[in-house]
Structure 1
Amino acid sequence: MRVTHLGHSCLLVEASGVRVLVDPGAFSHGFEELTDLDAVLVTHQHVDHLDVERLPQLLEANDGARVVVEPETAAELTRAGIEAAPLHPGETLALAGLTVTAVGGEHALIHADVPRIGNTGFVLAEEAGPHLFHPGDAIDTVPEGVDVLALPLAAPWSALKETVDFLRAVAPRSWFPIHEALLSDVGRGVFVRVGGSLAPEGAQRLELDGATEV
């Protein structure tokens, strides 16, 4: 499985001959230039995970790519004239030799005065390869058998102590930071260093530099 981090929460996952893009949001760059995609997955409707302005350009260059998203997001895209299929927690999507399983269901709490929306995490699994977990904006669901974790590093809804507890609960063999656009380079370094020092024993931190085998 090869993973390319395109900024913030956007990942290109290539496995078993399939190319899948996850969370093409407004804080990410370069995804609109991709071709030969089989599917686009979206965890939730927030603009940093879904750029509705650039999505049509992406789909025009990837005729036939399936758009599979969190259910509330599917309704929003339909209203915007973009065809999308919902994937509910517990459901799976088969893409040749890659299986996508939806988990979770609710966005993390930002504040009691901010209504919560849907959020669907995705576990992308090769039949004889690693299981990659992209949780979107929630860290309250811990799927079993995760080999590689895309770990949200900083957000208005999170604190480092919760991030570390989530990393320990998932206990992957390796992890890499995502959702870090709100941090300066200095801040990112602090979060990565402290988080890494508190990671479960044996969990290797990856720094994705271009397409990286995970």
Structure 2
Amino acid sequence: MKITKYLHSCLLLEHENERLLFDPGSFSFANGEVNAAELPDIDYLVITHDHPDHLYGPAIRTIIASHQPEIIGNQEVADRLQRDAIEVTVFDEGKRQFGAFQLEALPVAHQPILSEKVPTVTAFLINGTILNPGDSFSDDLLRFKGCELLFCPIMAPFLKEVEAFEFMKRMEPKAVFAVHDGYAKPYFVEARQKNYRAYLEELGIGFHGLVEMGESITI
């Protein structure tokens, strides 16, 4: 499977000639580095939760106009996009097959934030091997302990790097893929990634830190 990062938490997964895009949020498109109209053909668009840095209406409308993907998200995501007359396949929990992608959905708590409204996060296990926990470090995710690859937030207003590292240790993935780092300039992102990598390598856990828009790995 090929995984391409389009800044922050916007990730494109390619498998068996099909493409699934996670969380096209505002931070990915804010500086014009990513153009939603120029993304590759997308079959499925999956949104983990209703926060602007994961769900950005203008980009989603552009993607729909270009590719007409199936939109997948929880009920809160569906309610949000219904305001824009965008149809969503509601998927809150359980397993479903979407073309070449098997998704296992699990509702989990968002990490604590300074807000009156805290959205429900839907974590997704992809093809039994890759876990996208959204913005959650919930112990409920331990059911996926030992996954091949963990998409893990490494920076956020709600996050301390010690907490993120402790979550990585609890999950015991074969490797970590750094996300949620669109808040900072590249030199700072690289410094944070270097620190995580050093400590994870001591535990025998691999680390993938992509900084440039459109960088990819294949697993």
TM-score of the two chains, using structure 1 as the length reference: 0.89
Q: Do residues 46 (structure 1) and 47 (structure 2) align? A: no
The SS at the match of 1:121 is strand
How far off is 1:145 after superposition? 4.2
Structure-2 separation of matches of 1:201 and 1:134: 21
Please give the per-residue CA displacement for 1:11-40, whole angstroms capped at 9, x wherever unaligned.
000113321000011111244422432100
d(CA) in 2 for partners of 1:103 and 1:32? 31
For 1:162 and 1:60, how far apart are their aligned partners in 2?
A: 39
- The structure-2 alpha-carbon separation of the partners of 1:31 and 1:202, relative to structure 1 and needing over 3 Å to count, comes to farther
Greater share of residues in helix = 2
Per-residue deviation, residues 124-175 of structure 1 (Å, max 9, x unmatched) = 116xxxx111111111123234101111111111111110011111111111
What are the within-5 Å matches in structure 2 for residues 73-84 of structure 1? 73-84=77-88
1:159–1:210 Cα change, 3 Å: same
Alignment of 1:48-63 (within 5 A): 48-63=53-68
Letter paired with 1:81: A
Q: Is 1:34 the counterpart of 2:33 in the alignment? A: no
Aligned twin of 2:218: 213
Moved more, 42-51 or 175-184: 175-184
User: For the Cα contact (< 8 Å) 1:44–1:69, is it kept in 2?
Assistant: yes
User: What residue number does 1:120 align with?
Assistant: 122
Partner amino acid for 2:44?
Answer: A
Gaps of 5+ in 2: 29-33
Give the corresponding residue for 1:175.
176
Shift of 1:76: 0.8
> Which residue type is aligned with residue 42 of structure 1?
I
Q: How many residues align?
A: 207
Identity of aligned residues (%): 25
In the other structure, the counterpart of 1:139 is 137
Structure 1 distance, partners of 2:165, 2:189, is: 15
Counterpart-to-counterpart distance in 1, 2:91 and 2:146: 21
Equivalent position amino acid for 2:98 in 1: L
CA distance in 1, matches of 2:147, 2:190: 25
Q: Find the aligned partners of 1:206 and 1:37 in 2 and give their Cα distance.
A: 23
Say what the alpha-carbon RMSD is for the aligned residues: 1.8
Q: Whole-Å Cα distance in 2 between the matches of residues 157 and 104 of structure 1?
A: 19
Letter in 1 for 2:204: G
Where does residue 203 of structure 1 map in the other structure?
Answer: 205
Q: Which runs of 4+ in 1 moved over 4 A?
A: none
Q: State the SS of the aligned residue for 2:50.
A: coil
**Matched AA of 1:103:** L
Amino acid at match of 2:205: A
Structure 1 residue runs without a partner (length 5+) = none
User: Taking structure 1 as reference, are residues 104 and 161 closer, same or farther at Cα in structure 2, changes over 3 Å only?
Assistant: farther
1:16 is matched with 16
Does residue 1:189 correspond to 2:194, yes or no?
A: no
